[in-house]
Amino acid sequence: MYGNLIQLLTALSAALAAGFGVLYLGRVLSELELAEKHENLPQRLPLFVRLLLPFISVTRPAASGNAFAVWRDMAAPKLWMAGLGDAFTPVDYIALRLVFLIVSLLLIVLGMAAGQILICLALALLFAVYPGVWISSTIRKRQLSIMKALPNVLDLLTLSVESGRDLLSALRDILARRKVDPLGEELLRTFQEIQLGRKRTDALRALTLRVRQADLTAAINAIIQAEELGVSIAQILHIQSDMQRNKRFMLAEKLANEASVKIIIPIILLILPAVFLVLVGPLALRAAAFFR
């Protein structure tokens, strides 16, 4: 009985794998509209995501249904924070998560058929949680990059505004000379929105809602308040630049102080045993030879 069940599961898994393989080969060239929307998107995506990206057309109808409406609302701000909101819609992201979930279920079935349930269960769990972990990690790295780059950008804006240029012209000059990074991408989007006729304060508020990085939000809110109250923007930029630089310096000091505590565990687990073996090992061998 169990032998027939295992054979049935094996045949079912093989059929599903073959079907997905044919589907993948048929759609791999036609399902790259995401990459067409954003030319840098393939380089931003991990290997697992790039391999499974063509399959999202299969799960997209289910992802666009009412059952996943709450998930889509939760995914939208995360995609913008990760820098993928202009090319990766919430429906695409939920469809991708469903693809990873299907792969997880297939791994469990294959594990039951092959008798390696623990290994396949671990791989299935990895595939199930990978999209969420990937997005969270991308958000952390992006916000850290923005926090590090913000003081320098504020310094350049301060110098340009103090020399007599308006904020928009100063921002344009900085973007023309700045390398492509997360902060530069967001500032370029804001600059383009203002050029297309959007009110400057609205474009700046939209920037804070997209990025949701505390330091950038504080600086943008200060600039908006300065414009509304008629305060000198150069003075506000100078104050914000000093504040962000001091905050970054304090964070570096905090991390440096924590490093001495964090390094204790590797020393105890890795270095001390090796030193103990080097010092005590020869003595132990001599003692063993002496008492033999």
The secondary structure of residue 268, as a DSSP letter, is I
Q: Is 12 a residue whose pLDDT tops 90? A: no
The first and second tokens of residue 141, run together, are 């790295």
- Residues 88-114: what's their mean pLDDT? 86
pLDDT level of residue 8 (50, 70, 90 thresholds): very low
Q: What number is the average pLDDT over the span 93-105?
A: 89
Name the DSSP letter for residue 66.
Answer: G
Token reading at 103: 């792969």
Q: What is the dihedral of CA 180, 184, 186, 188, to 10 degrees?
A: -90
Cβ 145 vs Cβ 239: under 8 Å: no
Closest to 207 in 3D by CA, of 227, 196, 228, 221: 221
The string of DSSP codes covering 44-62 is HS-HHHHHHGGGHHHHHHH
What is the location of CATH 1.20.81 in the chain?
143-258
Q: Are 75 and 90 in contact (CB under 8 A)?
A: yes
How far is 166 from 200, CA to CA, in rounded Å? 12
Nearest to 159 by CA among 172, 146, 147, 170: 170
pLDDT in tens, 244-274: 888 888 888 888 888 778 888 877 888 888 8
Q: Does domain 143-258 have CATH number 1.20.81?
A: yes
The letter for the amino acid at 245 is R
pLDDT in tens, 164-203: 888 888 889 888 888 888 999 999 999 999 999 899 999 9
Alpha-carbon distances, residue 162 vs 1, 158, 237 (angstroms) = 83, 6, 10
Residue with tokens 């249904």: 65
Selection from 39, 94, 99 nearest residue 69 by Cα: 94
- Cβ(48)–Cβ(152) below 8 Å: no
What residue type is assigned to position 225 of the chain? Q
**194 φ, ψ (degrees, to nearest 5):** -65, -40
Scanning the chain, the segments in alpha helix (DSSP H) are 2-27, 33-37, 41-44, 47-52, 56-63, 69-81, 90-114, 117-162, 167-177, 182-195, 200-211, 214-229, 233-262, 264-266, 272-291
Tens digits of residue pLDDT in 31-72: 444 444 444 555 567 776 777 777 888 888 888 888 889 999
**Cβ atoms of 112 and 5 closer than 8 Å:** no
Cα angle 258, 261, 262 (rounded to 5 degrees) comes to: 85
pLDDT band at 27 (very low <50, low <70, confident <90, very high): very low
Could you tell me which of 30, 23, 36 has the C-alpha nearest to residue 102? 23
DSSP label at residue 292: -
Measured CA to CA, the distance from residue 119 to residue 108 in angstroms comes to: 9
Average pLDDT over the chain, rounded to an integer: 81
